[in-house]
Structure 1
Amino acid sequence: MNHLVISFITKDRPGLVETLSKVIKQHQGNWQTSSLHHLSGCFAGVLEIAVEQAQCEALTTAIKALDGFKIIIEKTTPAQTSNESTVVLELTANDREGIVEEISAVIHHQGGNMIKLVSVQDNAPHTGQPLFKAKITLAVNNEQTPSLINALENLADDLMVDISR
């Protein structure tokens, strides 16, 4: 079984997921994992498809032929399991330039590997001040988790970190 990681962007319009899923089904592909978003009038996403070798080239060709899509397709093998555990961090801080770089640098230097980042800019309820909110899933060695959390909390006085597993 081949795995395809497909990233795309297109002008948003109704029926885009149906269009993608129909092409995948026509080539006996199996939609595995995805993250799809409406962003500033565009529709963008990343998805993983499992497909038999015999259908892989035809599926790749059909997806690349979709009208109006900018597409990148990477043939991959599924990731092997590791000794790391998954930790989910929910972060809230006053929004500022460079905050994602600051957070990602701490995670990297503390031995974490960011698996997923979902962020939004919101306004504080009473003041209206811009807030940065993020939910980050990362893989980290259990022994490094406390120092990682400590380093994140020391990044700024206004950064709140909630942890779950």
Structure 2
Amino acid sequence: MDHLVISFVGKDQPGIVDQLSAIIQQHQGNWQNSSLHHLIGTFAGVIEVSASANDIQALDSALKQLPDLQVQTQITSTADSDEQAAITLELTANDRQGIVQDISSVIHHQGGNLIKLVSKQGAAPHTGQTMFNAKAQIQVNQTQLDELICALENLADDLMVDISQ
């Protein structure tokens, strides 16, 4: 099986997921993983689909013909799994410009690979101050984990890092 990674963005309107899933089904694709979001009047997402080599080119072409979505695709094969540990970090700090760049830079320079990042802003319960909250899934060599956490915590006095595996 080959895989097709689909990213799309368009004006939010009812039926986008129905339209995408119908095209995927018509081309014998199997919807594997996805992350779909409503963001300020737009609807955007990333979808991983598996399909046979015979069907994937037609699926790719059909998706790119959708009139109301900007669609980009990447055909790929299943990645080999490596021996690094999968770690989930929950990060909380006072929000500030550049915080995502600082966090991603530390993860990169400490030998980690950022697999998934979901972030949001919210008000702190008692103060109302804008807070940055993120959940990051990373792969990192277990022997480098303590150094990575220390480096993240040294970014700012207010950055809290919780770890789960």
Normalising by structure 1, we get a TM-score of 0.98
DSSP-derived class of the 2:21 partner: helix
Shift of 1:14: 1.1
What residue is the counterpart of 1:24 in the other structure?
A: 24
| Range 114-123 or range 46-55, more displaced | 46-55
What residue is the counterpart of 1:153 in the other structure?
A: 153
Q: CA RMSD in A?
A: 0.7
Moved over 4 A (4+): none
2: distance between equivalents of 1:79 and 1:53?
A: 16
Q: Does 1:94 align with 2:94?
A: yes
Matching residue's letter, 1:123:
A
2: distance between equivalents of 1:154 and 1:73?
A: 38
- Structure 1: tracts of 5 or more residues without a match: none
What residue is the counterpart of 1:60 in the other structure?
A: 60
Shift of 1:77: 1.1
Shift of 1:54: 1.4
Normalising by structure 2, we get a TM-score of 0.98
What residue is the counterpart of 2:114 in the other structure?
A: 114
Shift of 1:40: 0.6
Matching residue's letter, 1:147:
E
Matching residue's letter, 2:29:
G
DSSP-derived class of the 1:66 partner: coil
Matching residue's letter, 1:156:
A
2: distance between equivalents of 1:148 and 1:23?
A: 43
1: distance between equivalents of 2:119 and 2:61?
A: 33
1: distance between equivalents of 2:145 and 2:33?
A: 27
Matching residue's letter, 1:95:
D
- Structure 2: tracts of 5 or more residues without a match: none
2: distance between equivalents of 1:163 and 1:8?
A: 31
Matching residue's letter, 1:142:
Q
Shift of 1:79: 1.2
What residue is the counterpart of 2:13 in the other structure?
A: 13
What residue is the counterpart of 2:130 in the other structure?
A: 130
Matching residue's letter, 2:56:
C
Shift of 1:127: 1.0
What residue is the counterpart of 1:50 in the other structure?
A: 50
Aligned-pair identity (%): 58
DSSP-derived class of the 1:127 partner: coil
